[in-house]
Amino acid sequence: MLMILTWVLLKSVTREPPRSHVPYPAAPEATPARVINVSSIGNFFFSPEGGFRVDDLSAEKHYGYYERYGSSKLANILFTRELGRREYDDGNHVVSYSLHPGAIASTNLSRHTSFGAVWDLLVVLFWKKGGFSVLRRETFKTIPQGAATTIVAALDSFVPPSAHLADCQLSDAVHHSASVELQEKLWKVSEEMIASVVSQ
C-alpha cells in the first residue's frame, strides 16, 4: 500500500523542470518535497534474522504477529532509503524519512491484546541482543510528544536525506539486516506486485 500511494503521488511531488543538482539544504529556494514514513522501534525487536520473508510477504506459509509487525516496520525503513536513493540521489526534488514516534500509551491500540501476547512481547524485548540498551531509552509519550518527531521530519532543514529518526533526532535503532541489497529486493518485489494488480 505504501509503495502504491507513493507511486501514484510521486509525479505530483517531483518538481520538473528544473531539477536541482545543488546539495540539500544548500538550496533553500528549491526545497525538496518530503515523503515521511512512520515506522516503529518494533523493526529492531521483532524482525526475523533475514529482515522479512521476501518469498512469503502475504504470510500464506508462516505467520507470527510480532514478526510480521516488525517486518512491516522494517519494510517502511527500507522503502524510505531506497526511495531516497532512487529519487534524491538521482537529482530529483524528493527526500524521504522514516521515524519511530515513540511508545504512546494513550492511543488505546492495545485494548484487545491478550495476556499471552503481552508475555510474548516481554520475552522478545528482554532477550533481544542489544535490546536492553535500546529499550531503556524508551519512555511513554503523550500524543503531542509522539507527533513531534514527525514534525521534525517534515520541517527541519538540517535532517539529512533518508534519515531514520526517534525522539526528534537521528536514530540507529534499525534491524541489522537492513542493507542496500535488501532495499533493492523489496523494491523489485513491490514493483512486481503492483504491476500484477494494475494489469488486472
User: In one letter, which amino acid is 92?
Assistant: N
Q: Please tell me the total number of residues recorded for the chain in this structure.
A: 200
**Does residue 101 have a cis bond before it (omega within 30 degrees)?**
no
Q: What is the DSSP letter of 134?
A: H
CB-based contacts of 55, cutoff 8 Å, min separation 6: 61
Identify each DSSP E strand in 111-191 by its residue range: 140-141, 164-166, 169-170
User: In one letter, which amino acid is 17?
Assistant: P
Three-state SS at 164 = strand
Task: Give Cα separations from 104 to 37, 51, 109, 143, 145 (angstroms).
Answer: 17, 25, 9, 6, 9
Residues serving a catalytic function are: 69
